[in-house]
Every structure is written in C-alpha cells, then in structure tokens.
Amino acid sequence: DENARRMSYAASILNTPQVRSQRLIGYTNPRYQWEQYWKSHEDLQKIKKKAVRKYYERVNYLVQHYLYIDRLLDSSLPHDLIQEYQQPPKQTSAINQTPWQENMPETIEEDEGSTSPPQPIYPERHGSFDTTEPPPTKVKRTPKDIYTVKTRNKSDANGEEQPLLSPESSTAGDVENGPNMPPDLEYEEEASSQSRIVSIAIIVNLIANTALLILKIIVVILSSSVSVLASLVDAALDFLSTAIVGITTRLIAHTDQYAYPIGRRRLEPVGVLVFSVIMITAFIQVGWEAISKLRSPDHEVVQLTVPAIAIMASTVVIKGACWFWCRLIKNSSVQALAQDAMTDVVFNIFSIIFPLIGFYARIWWLDPVGGICLSLYVIINWARTANEHIRNLTGASASADERNILLYLTMRFAKTIKKIQGLQAYHSGDKLNVEVDIVLDEDISLRDSHDLGESLQYVIESVPTVDRAFVHMDYADYNLPSHLAQE
C-alpha cells in the first residue's frame, strides 16, 4: 500500500502543469548567437557594391527575426499554452442560453471559443481535466498584445502591463548588449477596419475628394487642357475609391459569423483590386483622348487661368497633407488611399507644368503629350498594385525568408517534435496561411499530441504576418499525400 501510495504521489507530481509542459517542450537550450552576423548602419554604408550591401541588409532582416523568435520561444508563452489545458472545460450555463441552445441534444457540446472575432490567446478548449489549479492570466489574442501580460502589483490595484518579450528575458550566455547589437524587432499591428482612426481617415478623404472634384470641374470648364481633364478624371476616381474603401470597411465591420465563419478581411484587398482596375481602365481612355488630340488638325495652345492654377495648386497641398497622414495608418485600405494621394500630388504638379510650359514656349503638342505621360504613370503604378493583390488573393507562396522564419520557429518549439515533414506558407489576402506537418513519437498520448500541436498552432498564429495556421501531426516520417489532388 505504501508503495502504491508513493507511486500515485509521484505520478501526480509528474502530471502537474509545470512538469508536463517541461516534459513536452523541454528546457531552454543555449541559443545560436545570431548577433555575430549583424551589420550596423555604419558598416553597411562602407560597402560600395550595391549587390553586396543588399545581401547584408537581407542578413540583418533574418537576424532580427531569428532573435525575435528566440525571445518568443525562450519566454513563458509556450509553457503557459500547455499549462492552460490543465484547467477543466467551462460548462455552459443553462441560465443564459438561447432557445436553440436549450434544444441542443446532450450528446453535442458547444465550443464556446469558436467565434470569428478576436479571441483571448488562451480560449476555453477541451483538453485535460485532472486539476483544479487556477488558469494563467489571459491576454488578448492580437499581434499587438500577445507579448504583453497583465501583472498584478501589490501597490497598484489595477495592475500594470509588462512585456512578455523583453531584452532581459534572453538566456544566460547571450552576447552582452553593445553598440553593434541589432535593435529589437517591433511588429506594427495593422489597424482594424473597425477602428476609429480608419473611419476618420476615410471620412476626411471623402470630404477632401468631394471638394476637389467640384473645384476641378470648374477648372475644366475654364480651360480645354487634356492634362487638366486627366486631373478631373483622377479626382472623380478618388471620390469613387474613397466610397469603395468606405463600403468595404463597413462590410468587414458587420460580419455574420455563420455566413462568413472567418470574417471578411479579404474584402480590403478585393476593394483595392477593384479600384485598381477602374483606375487603369479610366486612364486608358484619357490616354486615348490625348492621342486623338495629337492627331486632330486643331493646334491651339492651351492657356491656364490664374484661378485654374490656384485650384490645381490647392489640390497639391491638400493631397500632400492627406498622404502624409494616411501613410502612418497601418491598414491596407488606408494605405491605398495614401498611395492614391501621392499619385495625385505628382499628377497635379505635372498637370500644371505641362500646359504652362506649352503656353509660354508656344508648343501646342506639349499638353496632350503631358496627358499621355500622366496616364502612363497612373496605369503602370496601379498595375503594380493590382498585380500584388492578385498574387495574394490567388494564394501566392510566401517568400523564402518568411518560410525560413516559420520553419525556424517550428524547429525550435519543442523537443518532442522529431521531424518536420513539410511547411507550406501561402497568401490568403494580405496575410499568410501556414500548414505544418510534424512527426511525433507514435507512443505519445492523444492528449499530449493535441495540446502540443494546438499550442504550436497558436504560437505560429502569433506571428503578425500569419492569418491562420494548421498543424498536422503524424507518427511516421514518410510523407504520404495529405490532400486529394484537385483537378
């Protein structure tokens, strides 16, 4: 009996959350010293050959990201994820149930953590049921907040936020901080389409574009310049672009989780793509109008009046201010507005220059040639934007550097991962979907393999460039096809 009691006691100790997480993930090993490959800004400036300098800039990019992954995996986050499964699942209360929940058969359990809006990093999940220890502190499930935990201070009833990843969290034996140490990598979270700053940016752009459209109609009436006509078309499309961005933002904010289970975030790049196509089509027509004017027998020199010049100059100032502000907002829709504002600045400057030079130099063809040049500028600029979004929406592969960073994260995550069969990272809109195939020991329990795989999935999804991650676990190292080949 004494022996059985001791064995039972030892088993209970080995099954505590802390010991179990150490058993699955392992202890922190001395990491690789990536800092030795870092080149400071001064060192880069001394490199004369552009190709060599570009190579070392890429090395710096990888060093920063590898150090970031090291700090993430050396922190308490992976262990906290494993330990979170030790709490019993939260039972659904019958008090606040909806009618359809009341009629749910007893054999079906509702997963409370399956909604599409952002979830806490540690949502209630089915896992293990053998402890009554309180769960770890939950933090928001966003790229911005995932590395910040709320800690209680005895002198502060409200607690204070401390970063989960801090320079002090590096392991012993790391290279000491010095002047040649790479700066900490800080991901900037993209502003949500529902955020107030995005709504304000759209409203400000809408007001500015409406006012400028009215003013440019007046300018076109006062002159017959093709360059100014191109500027009017651009202003009309600016108004349309802001309307498209506003509509897509509203649709994203009001999402039905049953009709769109993972949300409608891809509407942002779709909206930008639609606007790019409209922009290209419209300026092909403007370019054709300029070619028609060159072929016509009318060689009258276009003259811009002072009011027309003043209106065009005010457009440059207003659009310059919009560009300067919108470029600071990390949101793909607002970034499209910023790009459009920059296009307008260049466009309106040359819409003034071409007719003025043509008038004072008495060169009649300079104005239509200017219209053609401006049209080509817009077509090429937006064709590049359209091509980028088409690639992302059609599942283009992640870059080699992005894949290497994700592969390094997976490789370092846990000692129980014997091999990595494959890693696929591809675009699904602006961000990446990641599929990882890992090999575990065939004797590992379902509970352990589930908790380990899902914890790895959460850590991969915490990388701000990743939208969703899927971790597939296997016990054999031969790689059979995991999906049917779709014809």
The CATH number of whichever domain residue 357 belongs to comes to: 1.20.1510.10
Separation CA 165–CA 459 (nearest Å): 13
Q: Within a domain: residue 97?
A: no
> Do 324 and 450 reside in the same domain of the chain?
no
Which of residues 347, 366, 393 is at a domain's end?
393
Q: Is residue 100 part of a domain?
A: no
When divided into structural domains, the chain yields a total of 3
Could you report the per-residue pLDDT of 96-123, keeping only the tens digit for each? 444 444 444 444 444 444 444 444 444 4
Q: Look up the pTM and report it.
A: 0.69
Residue 339's φ and ψ, nearest 5 degrees, are -60, -40
**385 pLDDT above the threshold of 50:** yes
| pLDDT-wise least confident of 75-84, 147-156, 261-270 | 147-156
Domain boundary among 364, 393, 422: 393
How confident is the model at residue 98, as a pLDDT? 46
In a domain, 351, yes or no: yes
CATH number of the domain within which 458 lies: 3.30.70.1350
Do 22 and 68 have their domain in common? yes
Residue 150's pLDDT band, with cuts at 50, 70 and 90, is very low
Residue with the bigger pLDDT between 155 and 5: it is: 5
Question: Is 128 found in the same domain as 74?
Answer: yes
Q: Which domain holds residue 441?
A: 400-474
Instruction: Tell me: do 292 and 406 sit in the same domain.
Output: no
pLDDT value for 432: 92
Cα distances (angstroms) measured from residue 135 to each of 139, 163, 256, 449? 12, 19, 31, 20
For 122-276, list the strands marked E by DSSP.
148-153, 156-163
Give the end of a domain, one of 169, 204, 232: 169
Is residue 186 included in any domain, yes or no?
A: no
| Residue 241 shares a structural domain with residue 358 | yes
In this structure, are 296 and 427 located in the same domain? Answer: no
- Do 248 and 285 fall within a single domain? yes
363 and 299 inside one domain: yes
Closest CA to 453 of 420, 404, 424: 420
- The verdict on residue 453 lying in a domain is yes
Q: Do 135 and 232 share a domain, yes or no?
A: no
Q: Same domain for 60 and 134?
A: yes
Cα 65 to Cα 184: distance, rounded to the nearest angstrom: 9
pLDDT band at 164; cut points 50, 70, 90: low
Tens of pLDDT, residue by residue over 297-347, are: 877 777 777 777 887 788 888 888 988 888 888 776 788 788 778 877 887
Please state the rounded mean pLDDT for residues 447-460.
90
Q: Please tell me the predicted confidence (pLDDT) of residue 9.
A: 61
Question: Does residue 24 form part of some domain?
Answer: yes
Residue 187: what pLDDT? 56
Q: What local confidence, expressed as pLDDT, does residue 58 receive? A: 92
Based on the domain organization, do 128 and 213 belong to the same domain? no
For residues 279 and 406, which has the higher predicted lDDT (pLDDT)? 406
Percentage of residues in the chain with pLDDT exceeding 70? 71
| Mean confidence (pLDDT) of the chain | 75
Which pLDDT value is given to residue 129?
40
Is the model's pLDDT at 356 over the cut of 90?
A: no
307 and 354 together in one domain: yes
Would 269 be classed as within a structural domain? yes
In a domain, 107, yes or no: no
The percentage of the chain sitting over the pLDDT mark of 90, rounded to a whole number, equals: 12
Can you tell me which residue has the tokens 């090429």? 380
Instruction: Assign 7 a pLDDT band (cuts: 50, 70, 90).
Output: low
pLDDT value at 437 more than 70: yes
**Structure confidence at residue 132 (pLDDT):** 47
